[in-house]
Amino acid sequence: MTLDHRLDGPDGADVVVLSNSLGTTPELWAGQLPTLSRRFRVLTYDHPGHGRSSLPEQPATVDAFALGVLGLLDELGIERVSFCGVSLGGMVGMALALHAPERIERVVLSCTSAYLGPAEGWRERARVVRAAGMDAIADAVVARWFTPDLTRAEPETVARFRARLDSTPPEGYARCCEAIAGWDARERISGIAVPVLRMWESRFGFPQPRRRENGRRRYSEADVRRLRRVVRLREGGLALPAAIDKARGSPEDVPATVFAGLRRRRTDLIPAMLTKRTLLGISHAIEDEFCARGEPAALFGSFQRERFYRHSEQRWRDLARTAETAMVFADFERRRTPKSGPAELPLDRSDPASREWALVCDGEGYAACLAGWELPGQEGVRDMDRRFEALWSVEADVVRDAVAVALELASRSAPDLVAAVPARLRQEPPPASEDLRTLVSLTNRMLAYSEATEEELRTRGRSKARS
C-alpha cells in the first residue's frame, strides 16, 4: 500500500498525524495546519484509494489501513506520534492504537466510532458508487457535512469540498466503504464481546443503555466504568453474578477528592495524621524521583490556596518542562495556561477538593500519589504544623484512579486540556501485585506510627517547657 503524504513543520519536532474523513483530502486540515506546523512536525496523507494513494487490496479493512500508516511511519523513520483522526481517520487511529500502542503518544478521535453500523448500508453505498459514480451520493454526503447555516454563509467552502468528493476515485471510495462495513472494534476496546454484553443486559438488566433517536444504544461513562470493574473482578476470580452485583452497587460518580478515591479503592490502608511539614517532604520525594528517572509523566497537584502554590511555583515550572501534562489546582481567580509552567485551574472554596493537599504522578514506568485533607479548627496553628489525614500509594491502578479524580476536576474549567491528555491515562493499568499492596499497607502504617510518636514527643516537650 502506497500512501501519498506530506510533512510540514520543523525537523526534529514532535510528530502529529492528521487523518481526514472518507471522501476528503488533507485540505480538511487547512485551517489548523499553519498553527500546528509552527510547533509540530505534521504528517498528512490520503486514505487508500483517495488522491494519489494506491487502491487498498481486497478485502479492504481498517486494520490494513492502520498497518499502512505504520509502514509509512517506518519508511519516514518516525518512532512515536500523536494522532488525530476524523470519521474514517478516527477508526484508523483506534486500530493504530490497538496494533501498536507503544507508537502512540496521544490519540484524538472525532466524529467516529468503534462500530458504525449497519454494515449493509455501507455495502449498498459501495455498490451505488461503483454503478453510478460519485455524483450519485454527493448531495446526500455533503448535506451531512455542513449545517444549513454554514451552507448559506460559505457556499464557496461547500462547493470546494463537493468538488473534492466528486474527484475521489469511485473504486477507492467503494473499498473504503467496505472497510467501514467490516469495522467493529467494540470487543477489542472494551474487553467484552457484543453478544456477551447483550446477554448481560437481558439476563441481569446490566448495564442499562439509553436509546438514541436512531435506535442505537448509548452507554454512559458510568456504565463504562462499571463494565471495566466487572472485568477486573472476574479476573480476580469473582463469579459473574457477584461481580455484576458489586459493580452495579458502586457509586456512579468519580470521587470528589483524591483522598476519597484512595479510601474507596484501598479500604485496608490506615490514614496517617501528618503535619504539612511531613507532607511537603513526601511530596518532594515523589517529585524528585520523577525528575531522577527522566521519563515523561502526567503531574497533578492540589495546593488549596494560590499563595501556597506561588511558594512552589518555580519548582513546578521546572517539573512541567519534562512532563507530558501538568495541572495545578487552587483558589485561583481564573484559569491560566502559562507557556512554561503547569496549567493553573481554579477551585471554588466550597469545593471539597479545596481542603485537600494532593500530588499525582503517573508515568509509564513510575506512578505515585499522595493525598491528605486538612482537619478543621486549625486557625491558630502555624502553617507547617497544620495537620492532615493522609494516604499514599505507588500502585499503578490506584494512581490511575487518582488521575480520574484530577481529570474530573480539570474538566470543569479546562475540558480542552482534559481532551488532550495521553490516551493511556484513560486505560486500565495492570493490577498491582499482592507484594506491592502489602508494602504500601505496611509503609502507610509505619508512617502513621512514626508521626504519632513524633507528635507525642512534641507534646511532652511543650509540657516540660510550661512546667
Number of neighbours of residue 40 by Cβ within 10 angstroms? 20
Question: 216-245, pLDDT tens digit by residue?
Answer: 666 766 677 778 778 777 777 788 888 888
SS3 290: helix
Strand spans (E) along 14-163: 15-19, 41-45, 81-86, 104-110
Looking at domain 5-181, what is its CATH homologous superfamily?
Answer: Alpha/Beta hydrolase fold, catalytic domain (3.40.50.1820)
Q: What is the dihedral of CA 156, 160, 165, 168, to 10 degrees?
A: 160
Percentage of the chain beyond pLDDT 70 is 89
Contact between 343 and 327 under an 8 Å Cβ cutoff? The reply is: yes
Instruction: Please name the amino acid found at residue 100.
Output: A
Q: Is the pTM above the cut of 0.75?
A: no
The arrangement of secondary structure in 191-248, i.e. its CATH architecture, is Orthogonal Bundle (1.10)
Give the total residue count for the chain.
467
**pLDDT average, residue stretch 376-397:** 87
C-alpha span between 357 and 353 (Å, rounded): 8
Longest dimension (CA), the chain: 101
Question: 26-45, pLDDT tens digit by residue?
Answer: 999 999 999 999 999 999 99
Count of CA atoms in the C-beta half-sphere (13 A) of 72: 26
pLDDT band (50, 70, 90) for residue 456? low
Spans of all domains in the chain: 5-181, 191-248, 258-459
> What cell does 363 get?
508515568
What residues are paired with 362 via a beta bridge? 298, 367
431 vs 290 pLDDT, higher one: 290
Answer whether residue 451 shows pLDDT above 70: no
Of 13-17, 148-152, 428-432, 460-464, the one with minimum mean pLDDT is 460-464
Instruction: Please name the amino acid found at residue 246.
Output: K
Residues 180-209 as b or e (16 or more Cβ within 10 Å = b): bbebebeeeebbbeeeebeebeeeeebbee
215 vs 409 pLDDT, higher one: 409
C-alpha span between 349 and 216 (Å, rounded): 41
Question: 85-127, pLDDT tens digit by residue?
Answer: 999 999 999 999 888 888 988 888 888 888 887 889 999 999 9
- Give Rg (Cα) of the chain: 26
Q: What are the strands of the beta sheet with 297-302, ordered from one edge? A: 272-275, 387-393, 367-374, 356-363, 297-302, 325-330, 343-346
Contacts of 340 (CB under 8 A, 6+ apart): 317, 320, 321
Note the pLDDT of residue 207: 83
Answer whether residue 467 shows pLDDT above 60: no
